Structure 1
Amino acid sequence: MVKEERLQLILEQLTKDNKVQLTEMSRILNVSEDTVRRDIKELDVQGLLKAVRGGAIPTSTIPQHYRDREKYDVSHKLRMAEKAIPFLKNGQTIFMDGGTSVLAVAQMLPRDLKIQVVTNSFPVADVLEDHPNAEVIFAGGRLYKTAFTTIGQQAIDTIRNVRANIYFFGVSSIHTIGLTARSYEDSLVKRNMVENSQQIIALSTLEKIDTAESFFICPITKVDVLITEADSDNEKLQPYRDLGLKVV
């Protein structure tokens, strides 16, 4: 079997099972695990999957640029925001990153809620500008144009000086191995928000579940609550319930 045929079969197996295992593909293709590993690495470089220990999993197909994401899957983001609001109380300090699902939460904040928001997101800061009871601390830094957020040491220094009650984490990709991001510097900002928060609430559509990107943020066990647009008993979310996450 020529390499191009192997690569196609690996992608077909990934589409079928939402994962690829070295041992199984070695048997299916009748080649060594080292050969499968090299094939997976090549597909990873092409951005067609994400290589992990023992095989591969899908990458997220969500649009990358903020302008594309803000109009994508809007109804599901509103559903997640509705689920997120009950976690908020007067007097809390909240981290909000640049996820468009997090922006939906900011847009839905009750007008009488007295809260302090620390964010690196220009859209979140803009939405909260006229909220009568939300104090906003903006983590300045270098503009990450793809996401309309700030990144870099200045943003991280601001985050490190805050102890937040909740971090509303806008997920790019989530898997039982952990949470990942497409940008290295974005992953550093999010990692510091994780480390300086009492409770991590991840907002993710089902489309992002069981996918991975290149840059590791934190293990899945750091997440306390996983909010999706689906019912909490959705079968796809069972592995996360098994790991102790509260699924909403």
Structure 2
Amino acid sequence: MLTQQRKAMILVALKRDGQVVAKDFATSLGLSEDTIRRDLREMAADGLLQRVHGGALPASPAVADLTVKAAQSPDAKRALGLAAARTIRPGQLVFVDGGTTCLAMAQALPRDLRAMVVTHSPVIASALVDHPTVDVALIGGRLFKHSGVCVGAQVLDGIRRFQADLYVMGVTGVHAGIGLTTGDMEEADVKRAFAHAAAETMVLATPEKIGAASPHVIGPVTLIQTLLVAGQVGEGALVPFQEAGVSVVRAA
């Protein structure tokens, strides 16, 4: 069997089953496990999948830069943004992550809402400049241009100055076993710090992020209390999160 044929079959299996177990897949094709592991390594290097212990998971397309991400699942992001905005209560202090889905939430905040938003995203802060009653605290640091957020020690130190009612987290992958993931190590550090400094954490997840994974783990799914998903996500994909004790809410 040609290499490209095997790789095509791996992609089909990932789409169908949501994972590939190297040993089982090799047995099904009558090939050595080393052959399949080599294929997985090459495919991971090309960004086609995310290698994990024993096999692979779908790679999240959300690791692209902001320009590309802005065009991904726009309807789902609008629905998630509106649903998330409705959860913010007057008087709350809310950590808001960077990313296009969180931007949709910031843009949907009611004009009469009195609250405080703390963010490390200049884009989120700029979106709230004209909001009449939401105070904004921007935590600065080194600007990670790929995601349009600040990262580094200055950000981690800034987070420690606040205790939030809610953290609205953006991720690139949400997998019940692997956990919450993102594409950059420093971003993962910042997200983890935000979660530990908040009374409650909510993840906004478009359909392509469910069951997908990226290289850097933020934490287990139990790090969050609420998973807000778009309506297109099938019930079966959400059961593992509910079994882990996470409240799963669908955006209307």
Q: Same fold (TM over 0.5)?
A: yes
Residue of structure 2 equivalent to 1:204: 205
Residue of structure 2 equivalent to 1:223: 224
The DSSP-based 3-state class of the residue aligned with 1:76 is: helix
Residue of structure 1 equivalent to 2:193: 192
Corresponding pairs, count: 248
Structure 1 residue 63: Cα displacement? 6.4
What whole-Å deviation, never above 9, does each CA across 1:165-212 have from its counterpart, x for those lacking one? 111011211111211111122111111111211111000111111101
CA contact (8 A) 1:99 1:169 kept: no
Q: How does 1:122-133 map to 2 (within 5 A)?
A: 122-133=122-133
Residue of structure 2 equivalent to 1:113: 113
CA contact (8 A) 1:232 1:247 kept: no
Q: Structure 2: where are the runs of 5+ without partners? A: none
Structure 1 residue 232: Cα displacement? 8.1
TM-score of the two chains, using structure 1 as the length reference: 0.92
Residue of structure 1 equivalent to 2:39: 39
Change (3 A) 1:184 1:89: same
Q: How does 1:1-248 map to 2 (within 5 A)?
A: 1=1, 3-62=3-62, 64-176=64-176, 177-230=178-231, 234-248=235-249
Q: Which moved more, 1:73-82 or 1:99-108?
A: 73-82
The DSSP-based 3-state class of the residue aligned with 1:78 is: helix
1: CA distance between counterparts of 2:226 and 2:171? 12
Supply the AA of the counterpart residue of 1:181. T
What whole-Å deviation, never above 9, does each CA across 1:20-63 have from its counterpart, x for those lacking one? 01232121122333443333223222221111122111101236
Structure 1 residue 162: Cα displacement? 1.5
What whole-Å deviation, never above 9, does each CA across 1:70-123 have from its counterpart, x for those lacking one? 343222111112221332112211111112111111111112211111101111
Supply the AA of the counterpart residue of 2:117. V
Structure 1 residue 222: Cα displacement? 0.8
1: CA distance between counterparts of 2:60 and 2:86? 28
2: CA distance between counterparts of 1:192 and 1:110? 27
The DSSP-based 3-state class of the residue aligned with 2:27 is: helix
2: CA distance between counterparts of 1:232 and 1:205? 8
TM-score of the two chains, using structure 2 as the length reference: 0.91
RMSD: 1.9
Change (3 A) 1:125 1:214: same
Q: Structure 1: where are the runs of 5+ without partners? A: none
Supply the AA of the counterpart residue of 2:56. A
Structure 1 residue 5: Cα displacement? 4.0
Q: Which moved more, 1:225-234 or 1:204-213?
A: 225-234
1: CA distance between counterparts of 2:140 and 2:228? 28
Change (3 A) 1:66 1:245: same
CA contact (8 A) 1:121 1:149 kept: yes
Structure 1 residue 153: Cα displacement? 1.1
Structure 1 residue 238: Cα displacement? 1.8
What whole-Å deviation, never above 9, does each CA across 1:136-181 have from its counterpart, x for those lacking one? 1101011111122111111111112221111101121111121111
